[in-house]
Amino acid sequence: MVIKAAALLVGLFATSASAQDLLPRYEAAQVALDGRMLSVMGSDPAKARWSPERRGKSACALAELERLRGRPVAEAYVREVEYAIGEAHRLTRAADFGGLAARIHRNAGIRFQRDLVPITRKCGIGL
């Protein structure tokens, strides 16, 4: 596990510098969304914190999105995740978070087969 986490951190530093600058914003927004979902599910929202492994995989996913679709799409995706925080606070059922994720991807111009599947295969996590 430690070796795996170390390898992912090396991958984090090997990702494109421009994707790396989006990672702190993405992490903060995604932690807020995950925390809200956990809260709706009756769980502790503090459990939404990212591990080094999750951070490394997410850095890979953002870099891969930028490589596949360009910087504007990666920026749009992070913005959409940030915008979704307000909507997440209005959701009262865990099932509604799937629709929210679909809207985030649609609004950023990200498609399942073209974008998410290859990213998930390469990085071990989707967006």
6-57 pLDDT per residue, tens = 444 444 444 445 567 899 999 999 999 999 999 999 999 999 999 999 999 9
Quickly state the pLDDT bin for 87 (edges 50, 70, 90).
very high
Q: What is the mean pLDDT of residues 49-76?
A: 96
pLDDT higher than threshold 70 for residue 101? yes
CA atoms within 13 A on the CB side of 27: 18
Query: What local confidence, expressed as pLDDT, does residue 18 receive?
Result: 59
Give the up-direction half-sphere exposure of residue 33: CA atoms within 13 A in the CB hemisphere: 22
Instruction: Quote the mean pLDDT of the chain.
Output: 88
What is the torsion angle, in degrees rounded to the nearest 10, for the CA atoms of residue 12, residue 126, residue 100 and residue 88? -40
Q: DSSP alpha helices (H): ranges in the chain?
A: 2-14, 17-40, 52-69, 71-88, 96-108, 117-123
Whole-number pLDDT of residue 7: 45
Whole-number pLDDT of residue 20: 78
pTM of the model: 0.82
Q: Which two tokens stand for residue 12?
A: 């984090």
CA distance readout (Å), 76 to 6, 51, 69, 83, 95: 29, 24, 11, 10, 24
Q: What pLDDT, on the 0 to 100 scale, is given for residue 103?
A: 95
pLDDT score recorded for residue 67: 95
Q: In the prediction, which pLDDT does 111 show?
A: 93
Please enumerate in sequence order all residues whose Cβ is within 8 A of that of 65, keeping only pairs 6 or more positions apart, or say none. 19, 73, 74, 77, 110, 115, 119, 127
Q: For residues 119 and 64, is the Cβ–Cβ distance under 8 A?
A: yes
